[in-house]
Amino acid sequence: MESKKLQGYLKVSGYLIYAVLLFGYLFLVNYLYLALVRYNSIYFNITSLILRAMPVSYIIFGCLLGLEHIVRQNRKDGVWSVTVVRLIFLGLPSLFFSFYWFLYFIGPLRKPILPAWLPQQFFCLAAVVFGYVLITSFNKGSNLCH
């Protein structure tokens, strides 16, 4: 009985650490974003740093959300495989939307192809989705065919 109680405490403390890690990361990312915006407003320097850093930071957050999946997969026996179809049909579109503004201002897109009324949160959410899809596309098992 004590063993189950200890396992329960360990599980709760693990989720507590996981939550602190996730929300701490979000606070850090938003603090850095505001610092970059302040810097750009003072020096009137619209750099590509924000356009690159924000999607990457939200992709990392999506990967952190899928961290539990990787931990569970790592405990399994077998070889690692990648769900390529998932990466193509979910990952690539969300990756494109994640870096849309970077591609438009700095990269190869010359005209906007998405409506201007899309809020910034759409692109942030796309980055989180890409990170989550990326990390959860890795699976481990003995009879996988992907």
**Global pTM?**
0.80
* Among candidate residues 70, 80, 71, the one with its CA nearest the CA of residue 131: 70
**pLDDT in tens for each of the 146 residues of the chain?**
677 777 778 888 888 998 999 999 989 988 887 887 777 777 766 565 666 678 888 999 999 999 999 999 998 888 999 999 999 999 999 999 998 887 877 777 777 788 878 888 898 899 999 999 999 999 997 554 55
Q: What is the DSSP letter of 89?
A: I
| Residue 60: partners with Cβ closer than 8 Å, 6 or more residues away | 25, 131
